[in-house]
Amino acid sequence: MSYLKINNLSAGYGKAVVIRDLDLDMAKDEAIAIVGRNGAGKSTLLMALFGKATVFAGDVSVDDRQLNMAAGFDATAKGLAVSPQGKLILPNLTVKENLLLGGASGRNGVWDVNSVCDLFPILGERHNKPGVALSGGQQQMLAIGRALMANPQILLLDEPTEGLAPAVIDDIVDALGVIRTQGIGLIVVEQHLNLVRRVAERFVVLSKGEILHQGSVDTFDSEATKAALAL
């Protein structure tokens, strides 16, 4: 049964249309990777759900409830949370304060400061340090932890391994595995194709704002997928 339903979504910035008539259904405990070339509309798809992109047409429902895509708080209230590209750690807040900000929606669940720091122990060790004083990999952990503090049913991650060392990517992959044991679904926008193979069950290839190809991750290395990614 679909938990997230995106119907005929067109979105972009200003008057520029980036996403065109896009349909996507997702079960609440599924893991989907969104892949494609730069400018394909991957990040725009995520940002439209949180009021950070202009929605020209279409609708989105979460657990059969209509999502108000003009109000970012509505997505969080309905069970979506995002770890954005670039991490967006607030420079004037400590690690702990950045985490607490993520819990502002007041949704109940298993994720709080203690459970996030169990997942990412370095955040507990440095909870009184400024968030921006962390390394790039640690800031990515903080961004994911902050999103988890909203106790989402679906966690959206925009380029979570961008610029990270292989060992840190392994830590992120391990953490995503733990997150999924809690019944949380994932939508991952990712250029690192090995990560797609490791964390996703299904993939969607976007090109010029439209779904060009999709399938089970078992078919990710097929000739059809390679052809779609090469466009």
Residue found by looking up tokens 């809690």 in the block: 182
Q: Provide the percentage of residues in the chain whose pLDDT is more than 90.
A: 83
CATH number of 4-84+153-230: 3.40.50.300
Q: If we measure between CA atoms, which residue out of 210, 163, 230 comes closest to residue 190?
A: 163
Whether the pLDDT of residue 87 is over 90: the answer is no
- Which pLDDT tens digit goes with each residue over 137-163? 999 999 999 999 999 999 999 999 988
What residue segments make up the domains of the chain, in order of their start? 4-84+153-230
pLDDT at 114 over 80: yes
Q: Which of 184, 175, 185, 162 is closest to 32 using CA atoms?
A: 185
Neighbours of 179 (CB within 10 A): 22
Q: What CA–CA distance (Å, rounded) separates 88 from 146?
A: 11
In the structure, what pLDDT confidence band is assigned to residue 113 with cuts at 50, 70 and 90?
very high
Q: What is the pLDDT of residues 31-80, one digit of tens each?
A: 999 999 989 999 999 999 999 999 999 999 999 999 998 888 999 999 99
In the block, tokens 């999103």 appear at: 147
